[in-house]
Amino acid sequence: MFGSIGMPELIVIFVIALILFGPRKLPELGRSLGKSLNEFKRASNELRSSLEEEIRLDEQRDAQSKAPSEAGPRPAEDAQPRGSSTGA
């Protein structure tokens, strides 16, 4: 979860934070840190979904622009009206 930070490192960090901020301030700091992390996750999820939506729309535009060109031009004999003749 925390990468290479193990339980002993977390205990040391907690003790240092307890010494620096005191027992009264520590729960408030924990709550504000939790809210900040939650807001960061929400913003990154919104950014990810926005990017995925833009990629999807771009792929749809590419597919639509390629679809008519794949059909190719009509042959010349199909382009002439059926009732007319070109020879003698």
Closest of 63, 43, 44, 65 to residue 55, by C-alpha = 63
Total domains, the chain: 1
Confidence (pLDDT) at 75: 57
pLDDT score recorded for residue 23: 86
Amino acid at 79: A
Tokens 């913003």: give the residue.
43
Contact of 26 with 17, CB cutoff 8 Å: yes
Average pLDDT over residues 64-70: 74
Give the global pTM. 0.52
- Structural domain boundaries enclosing 53: 7-63
Going by pLDDT thresholds of 50, 70 and 90, the confidence category of residue 5 is confident
Average pLDDT over residues 23-35: 90
Range 76-86 average pLDDT: 56
18: in domain: yes
16: left (phi over 0), alpha (psi -120 to 50) or beta: alpha
